[in-house]
């Protein structure tokens, strides 16, 4: 088995089977006094829209403030996943401040969701469907994993190790994320809905959402169902909560940190993804720091999570 894939499989098994040990609580607030630098791509999108980050923040905040039904949905789903609704609000606010503008009304998301049921597209790259692609022998190590999160995370690790930016069997593959290459048929980097999820994240969370919320499992061979799910607020909020829950569990079980009281940290992980691998990296770094007589490093927010913590008093007024 490829060492990188072996590590990913081990992390998946640890994250799903290890008992929770005593974790160090990460205190509220930001570790950085000033906001970390915002990526150039986010700045370019905002300029192209002739907007500002503050204007985009106010727009998504107004959506939450003016729609009590949406806030009730968030609170209900957060309770199902046993997380503070501020984690969900933070993820939504961060995405619409630094990614795309929020729609003025929640109803627009429902309309968009229905439109994808009438659109013909599939998950593929250069004529090869993702269903055929994951049958390649490089993915055989993932076959032992049954949970959707473990399975698709393993497949993503194989992509990064064996295919990303490489030529395999005479075919060249882009140096880009698995989600962008196979799961975004309209344009790379596209995310959807009030949670701005990408389809691969939704597929990863499918089993957890089915267990907790009772929603139908997603199928990569039915991309219309996947897109409708991440566009429909009544469906996608469960996936937002599940993604945040996974990050909280990963940092508790792997890195030994309780991030459940710091929405800026969970928002950061919602933004950058791969919480198990990041928790493992932090654990390894802190092991070295302790060996050198240095204090352990706490999880830190990025530019996106910094905004969430900075605006936390305003967000608390919503709930």
| 229-247 pLDDT tens trace | 988 889 999 999 999 999 9
Indicate the SS3 state at residue 117.
coil
- Residue-wise burial string across 96-126, b where 16 or more C-beta atoms lie within 10 A, e elsewhere: bbbbbbbbeebeebeebbeebeeeeeebbbe
Residue 10 domain-assigned?
Answer: no
Q: Which two tokens stand for residue 173?
A: 């593959």
Residue 156 domain-assigned?
Answer: no
Q: Domain limits at 60? A: 31-119+189-316
Q: Which two tokens stand for residue 139?
A: 């993915």
For β-strands 128-129 and 124-125, DSSP reports them as antiparallel
Residue 136 domain-assigned?
Answer: no
Angle between helix 233-250 and 68-80 (nearest 10):
40
Q: Given this model, what pLDDT does residue 99 score?
A: 81
**Res. 255: pLDDT tops 90:** yes
Q: Which two tokens stand for residue 72?
A: 């009730």
DSSP state of 167: E
315, 90 contact by CB (below 8 A) = yes
For the chain, the residue count is 319
Residue 232 domain-assigned?
Answer: yes
Q: Which helix (H) or strand (E) holds 124?
A: strand 124-125
DSSP sequence for 197-244: B-HHHHHHHHHHHHHHH-PPPP-TT-HHHHHHHHH-HHHHHHHHHHHH
Q: What is the CATH number of the domain that holds 262?
A: 1.10.530
Residue 134 domain-assigned?
Answer: no
Residue 220 domain-assigned?
Answer: yes
What is the mean predicted confidence (pLDDT) over 85-113?
80
Residue 62 domain-assigned?
Answer: yes
What is the mean predicted confidence (pLDDT) over 177-205?
83
What are residue 167's DSSP bridge partners?
Answer: 172
C-alpha 7/C-alpha 3 separation (Å) is 6
How many domains would you assign to the chain? Answer: 1
Q: How far is CA 254 from CA 6, 14, 67, 113, 242, in A?
A: 16, 8, 37, 36, 18
Q: Given this model, what pLDDT does residue 14 score?
A: 46
Q: For the full predicted model, state whether its pTM sits above 0.85.
A: yes
Residue 128 domain-assigned?
Answer: no
Residue whose pair of structure tokens reads 């090869």 in the numeric block:
128
**Res. 135: pLDDT tops 50:** yes
């Amino acid at each position: 088995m490829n060492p990188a894939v072996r590590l990913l499989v081990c992390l998946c098994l640890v994250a799903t089977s290890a008992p929770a040990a005593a974790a160090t609580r990460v205190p509220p607030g930001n570790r950085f006094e000033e906001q970390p630098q915002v990526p150039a791509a986010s700045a370019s999108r905002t300029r192209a829209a002739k907007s500002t980050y503050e204007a985009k923040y106010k727009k998504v905040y107004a959506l939450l403030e003016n729609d009590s039904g949406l806030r009730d949905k968030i609170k209900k789903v957060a309770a199902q996943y046993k997380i503070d609704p501020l984690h969900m609000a933070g993820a939504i606010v961060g995405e619409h401040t630094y990614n795309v503008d929020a729609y003025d009304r929640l109803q627009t998301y429902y309309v968009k969701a229905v439109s994808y049921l009438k659109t013909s597209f599939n998950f593929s790259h250069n004529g090869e469907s993702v269903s055929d692609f994951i049958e390649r022998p490089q993915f055989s190590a993932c076959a032992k994993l049954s949970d959707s999160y473990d399975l698709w995370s393993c497949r993503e690790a194989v992509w990064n190790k064996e295919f990303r930016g490489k030529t395999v069997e005479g075919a060249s593959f882009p140096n880009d994320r698995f989600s962008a290459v196979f799961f975004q048929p309209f344009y790379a980097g596209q995310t959807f809905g009030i949670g701005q999820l990408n389809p691969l994240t939704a597929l990863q969370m499918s089993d957890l959402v089915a267990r907790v919320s009772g929603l139908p499992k997603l199928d990569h061979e039915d991309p219309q169902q996947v897109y409708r799910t991440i566009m429909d607020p009544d469906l996608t909020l469960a996936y937002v909560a599940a993604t945040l829950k996974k990050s909280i569990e990963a940092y508790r079980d792997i890195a030994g940190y309780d991030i459940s009281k710091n929405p800026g940290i969970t928002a950061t992980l919602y933004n950058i993804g791969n919480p198990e691998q990041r928790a493992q990296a932090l654990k390894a770094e802190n092991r070295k720091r302790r060996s050198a007589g240095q204090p352990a490093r706490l999880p830190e927010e990025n530019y996106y999570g910094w905004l969430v913590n900075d605006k936390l008093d305003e967000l608390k007024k919503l709930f």
